[in-house]
């Protein structure tokens, strides 16, 4: 039975008419063109020789220069059926040839014939201008081929897989040879081409082979051939499809991007511009863009936000509404095989972090500070973050307004919703500045971060604050000298507008407000809640328990036309009784110890009150005994 090639060729050639018109002066079978063929049994190669007529007929020679020829191989005696195309649309003489070069010239074509069925006798046909010239009949004895068929190759994930089929009837006393080479293999170039043996020990009957490059880098386009090695022979005629006609692209080498990267956020358009300066002119490459809320250590495919053509030099990313976050950006090159460098080094293109805000930015504002009598400094602010978990980070500087966090002292962090923070500086300064930054999560972000924005006059003091005591040499504007003292030892002088924090106080602690002389009235408002008040009437002292639900005294001291307004605050901490079963043991002894403790506490309170009274009397004597301005009295 004839091969598929035979029938395909017959169908293609069926459209060619088989008449042989003869013209008087035209190029035809009588023009003297000849074709002959010879077969070499040792190389199994046929040499086809075509000779142009020897003539000085310029018209005929010009026509030969314009004519194209085809050569076919047919079974002897099977004319006019064509079996195989050897060459088509070729020219022997061209317009660039001179008449003398064309006249009588000969041309040889070497051809390795295929084994078609059981035929051994063939003829060759030269066809042109619907003219067919037959060669001599020759015997071509071709040995059967032993080769695999339908070889194919594919590369994926560091592995090249070769597959092939076995024709029926091949003897299995062989091993499989696999070669790689840079260009297509043919029977003509096989012996002289450079090639590498990939494997020489694949077992007979095997129909696939994997080449693993996971332990090495590879980046190339390569061809493969598969032959069968018998004890005394190896068929390298490539009669079947045992060599690749198209290369396999093997590539596990990731492309490297060399350059700088910058990112900038535009609040007017809610976009971030990622700029890497210059693209790469390679159709096989793309640029992957990554965005992260954390400083990048390696590229995470889940954080990829865009893939752009490698020829681009920048990209504008739209930021969703409702975000307030800190973002790092990075880019990498990727090839068509998916190779990409995910590890980051100092040379990797990573942009400095930027702030992206498409919602109202969180903040604290109205920062201020006050010094209390005991040297305690309290910093106040307004919390606008609307996040109960936001942390306020407090900063102190003695060099000037805080515009950056360089060369500043950080105080203890506190929840921003507290609205105030107190401390006793070890080295109080005459001029200091305070600032507050915040740390937390906002918008759609789930990762807390430090928002370092500083605005002078808002969350950073514009004017200095005095931490040291301000000793005034001026005479008091009022003749009233007043102070507050608590049984915890915390207190201070009272002046008009004073805000004094007495700190933590417990059960049994008392607060005493005293003046240097009897005044018209001493009163505290809001002491036990809104609308409540207590007062001393015409007296020079007012004392009360710290156990007040308001924990605030909006105080007023009135003496005739003079009036002092002040505010006291404290934090009452309730004592929780111990109800464990162990307290039932030796009740009598514990009761005695409690009575002794109560007696000691009462003695301590009495001693503190006595000390306050003595201090008040001394203050009174000081006022009474100070020199008077007799001129004014007269």
Q: State the pLDDT at residue 3.
A: 41
Percentage of the chain modeled with pLDDT above 90: 52
Query: pLDDT tens-digit profile of 73-92?
Result: 888 877 667 678 889 989 99
Q: What is the mean pLDDT of residues 25-49?
A: 86
* CB-CB contact of 258 with 347 (8 Å): yes
User: 11 falls in which pLDDT band (50, 70, 90)?
Assistant: very low
Domain that holds residue 283: 262-357
Q: Where are the beta strands (DSSP E) in 398-551?
A: 409-410, 414-415, 420-423, 433-440, 449-451, 482-486, 491-494, 498-505, 510-519, 521-525, 533-535, 539-545
What CA–CA distance (Å, rounded) separates 528 from 550? 4
When the pLDDT of each residue in the chain is averaged and rounded to a whole number, the result is 84
Q: State the pLDDT at residue 169.
A: 82
Query: Token match 């969703």: residue?
Result: 320
Q: State the pLDDT at residue 593.
A: 46
What CA–CA distance (Å, rounded) separates 143 from 274? 67
Query: pLDDT tens-digit profile of 471-502?
Result: 554 544 557 789 999 988 888 889 888 888 88
Boundary residue ending a domain (228, 251, 274): 251
CA 596 to chain centre: 70
- Output 621 or 551, whichever has higher pLDDT: 551
Give the phi and the psi of residue 529 in degrees, each rounded to 5: 115, 170
* CB-CB contact of 187 with 142 (8 Å): no
Considering the domain architecture, whether residues 125 and 52 belong to the same structural domain is answered as yes
Considering the domain architecture, whether residues 111 and 164 belong to the same structural domain is answered as no
What CA–CA distance (Å, rounded) separates 238 from 227? 8
Domain total of the chain: 5
Boundary residue ending a domain (205, 228, 251): 251
Considering the domain architecture, whether residues 368 and 414 belong to the same structural domain is answered as yes
Query: Token match 């046929």: residue?
Result: 46
What is the domain-level CATH number for residue 330?
2.60.40.10
Boundary residue ending a domain (251, 272, 298): 251
What CA–CA distance (Å, rounded) separates 333 from 79? 62
629 is a domain residue = no
560 is a domain residue = yes
- 30 pLDDT more than 90: no
Q: State the pLDDT at residue 492.
A: 87
Considering the domain architecture, whether residues 506 and 615 belong to the same structural domain is answered as yes
| DSSP category for residue 436 | E
What CA–CA distance (Å, rounded) separates 231 from 229? 7
Per-position DSSP letters for 7-66, written without gaps between them = HHHHHHHTTS-------SSSSSTTS--EEEEEEETTTTEEEEEEE------HHHHHHHHH
What the block records as the tokens of 131 is 């003219």
Q: What is the mean pLDDT of residues 294-323?
A: 94
- The backbone region for 199, taken as left when phi is positive above 0, alpha when psi lies in -120 to 50, beta otherwise, is beta
Considering the domain architecture, whether residues 299 and 183 belong to the same structural domain is answered as no
Sign (positive or negative) of CA dihedral 19, 20, 22, 25: positive
- 548 pLDDT more than 50: yes
Considering the domain architecture, whether residues 323 and 441 belong to the same structural domain is answered as no
Query: pLDDT tens-digit profile of 93-104?
Result: 988 889 999 999
Q: What is the mean pLDDT of residues 391-407?
A: 94
What CA–CA distance (Å, rounded) separates 421 from 377? 8
What CA–CA distance (Å, rounded) separates 273 from 315? 6
What the block records as the tokens of 571 is 């934090």
558 is a domain residue = yes
Span of 398-402, 416-420, 464-468, 593-597 with lowest mean pLDDT = 593-597
Considering the domain architecture, whether residues 321 and 404 belong to the same structural domain is answered as no
580 is a domain residue = no
Asked, as a colleague might, if the bond just before 287 is cis with ω within 30 of 0, I would say no
Considering the domain architecture, whether residues 130 and 67 belong to the same structural domain is answered as yes
Q: What is the mean pLDDT of residues 593-604?
A: 47
56 is a domain residue = yes
Considering the domain architecture, whether residues 280 and 214 belong to the same structural domain is answered as no
Query: pLDDT tens-digit profile of 240-276?
Result: 789 999 999 999 999 999 889 999 999 999 999 999 9
Span of 12-21, 208-217, 371-380, 567-576 with lowest mean pLDDT = 12-21
Helix (H) or strand (E) holding 625: helix 587-625
What CA–CA distance (Å, rounded) separates 290 from 301? 8
- The backbone region for 322, taken as left when phi is positive above 0, alpha when psi lies in -120 to 50, beta otherwise, is left
301 is a domain residue = yes
Considering the domain architecture, whether residues 55 and 135 belong to the same structural domain is answered as yes
Considering the domain architecture, whether residues 280 and 378 belong to the same structural domain is answered as no
Query: pLDDT tens-digit profile of 285-304?
Result: 999 999 999 998 899 999 99
User: 177 falls in which pLDDT band (50, 70, 90)?
Assistant: very high
Q: State the pLDDT at residue 578.
A: 60
Helix (H) or strand (E) holding 131: strand 131-134
* CB-CB contact of 253 with 218 (8 Å): yes
- 629 pLDDT more than 50: no
Query: Token match 């111990």: residue?
Result: 578
User: 387 falls in which pLDDT band (50, 70, 90)?
Assistant: confident
* CB-CB contact of 564 with 478 (8 Å): yes
Query: pLDDT tens-digit profile of 216-225?
Result: 999 999 999 9
Per-position DSSP letters for 523-542, written without gaps between them = EEESBTBTT-EEE--SEEEE
Considering the domain architecture, whether residues 511 and 615 belong to the same structural domain is answered as yes
Within 8 A by CB and 6+ apart from 271, the residues are 265, 316, 317, 318, 319
Q: State the pLDDT at residue 618.
A: 58
Within 8 A by CB and 6+ apart from 452, the residues are 405, 437
616 is a domain residue = yes
585 is a domain residue = no
Q: What is the mean pLDDT of residues 558-570?
A: 89
What is the domain-level CATH number for residue 515?
2.60.40
């Amino acid at each position: 039975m004839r091969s598929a090639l035979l029938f395909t060729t017959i169908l293609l050639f069926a459209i060619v008419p088989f008449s042989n018109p003869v013209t008087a002066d035209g190029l035809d079978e009588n023009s003297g063109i000849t074709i002959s063929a010879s077969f070499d049994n040792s190389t199994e190669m046929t040499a086809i020789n075509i000779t142009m007529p020897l003539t000085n007929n310029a018209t005929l020679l010009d026509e030969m220069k314009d004519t194209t020829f085809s050569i076919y191989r047919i079974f002897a005696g099977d004319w006019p059926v064509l079996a195989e195309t050897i060459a088509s649309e070729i020219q022997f003489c061209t317009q660039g040839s001179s008449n003398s070069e064309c006249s009588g010239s000969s041309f040889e074509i070497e051809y390795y014939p295929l084994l078609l069925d059981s035929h051994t006798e063939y003829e060759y046909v030269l066809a042109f201008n619907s003219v067919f010239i037959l060669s001599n009949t020759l015997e071509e004895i071709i040995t059967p081929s032993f080769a695999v068929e339908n070889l194919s190759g594919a590369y994926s994930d560091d592995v090249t897989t070769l597959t092939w089929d076995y024709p029926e009837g091949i003897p299995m006393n062989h091993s499989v040879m696999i070669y790689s080479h840079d260009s297509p293999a043919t029977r003509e170039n096989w012996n002289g081409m450079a090639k590498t043996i990939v494997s020489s020990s694949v077992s007979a009957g095997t129909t696939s082979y994997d080449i693993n490059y996971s332990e090495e880098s590879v980046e190339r386009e390569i061809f493969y051939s598969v032959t069968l090695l018998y004890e005394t022979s190896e068929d390298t005629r490539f009669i079947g499809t045992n060599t690749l006609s198209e290369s396999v692209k093997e590539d596990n080498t990731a492309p490297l991007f060399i350059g700088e990267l910058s990112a900038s956020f535009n609040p007017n358009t809610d976009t971030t511009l990622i700029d890497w300066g210059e693209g790469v002119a390679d159709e096989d490459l793309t640029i992957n863009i990554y965005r992260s809320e954390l400083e990048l250590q390696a590229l995470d495919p889940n954080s990829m936000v865009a893939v752009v053509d490698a020829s681009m030099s920048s990209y504008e990313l739209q930021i969703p509404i409702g975000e307030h976050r800190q973002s790092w950006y990075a880019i990498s090159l990727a090839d068509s095989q998916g190779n990409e460098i995910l590890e980051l080094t100092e040379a990797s293109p990573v942009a400095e972090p930027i702030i992206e805000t498409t919602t109202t930015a969180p903040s604290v504002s109205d920062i201020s500070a006050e010094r209390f009598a005991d040297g305690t400094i309290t910093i106040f602010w307004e919390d606008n973050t609307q996040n109960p978990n936001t942390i306020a980070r407090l900063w102190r500087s003695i060099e000037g307004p805080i515009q950056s966090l360089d060369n500043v002292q950080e105080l203890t962090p506190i929840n921003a919703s507290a609205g105030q923070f107190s401390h006793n500086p070890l080295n109080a300064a005459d001029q200091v500045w305070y600032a507050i930054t915040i740390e937390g999560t906002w918008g759609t972000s789930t990762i807390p971060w430090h928002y370092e924005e500083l605005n002078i006059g808002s969350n950073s003091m514009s004017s200095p604050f005095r931490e040291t005591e301000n000793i005034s040499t001026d005479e008091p504007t009022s003749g009233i000298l007043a102070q507050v003292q608590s049984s915890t030892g915390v207190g201070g002088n009272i002046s008009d507008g004073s805000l004094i924090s007495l700190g933590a106080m417990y059960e049994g602690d008392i607060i005493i407000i005293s003046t240097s002389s009897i005044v018209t009235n001493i009163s505290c408002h809001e002491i036990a809640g809104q609308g409540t008040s207590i007062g001393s009437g015409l007296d020079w002292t007012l004392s009360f328990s710290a156990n007040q639900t308001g924990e605030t005294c909006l105080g007023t001291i009135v003496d005739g036309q003079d009036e002092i307004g002040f505010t006291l605050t404290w934090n009452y901490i309730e004592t929780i009784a111990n109800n464990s079963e162990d307290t039932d043991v030796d009740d009598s002894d514990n009761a005695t110890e409690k009575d002794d403790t109560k007696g000691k506490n009462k003695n301590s309170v009495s001693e503190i009150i006595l000390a306050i009274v003595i201090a008040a009397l001394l203050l009174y004597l000081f006022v009474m005994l100070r020199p008077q301005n007799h001129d004014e009295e007269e």
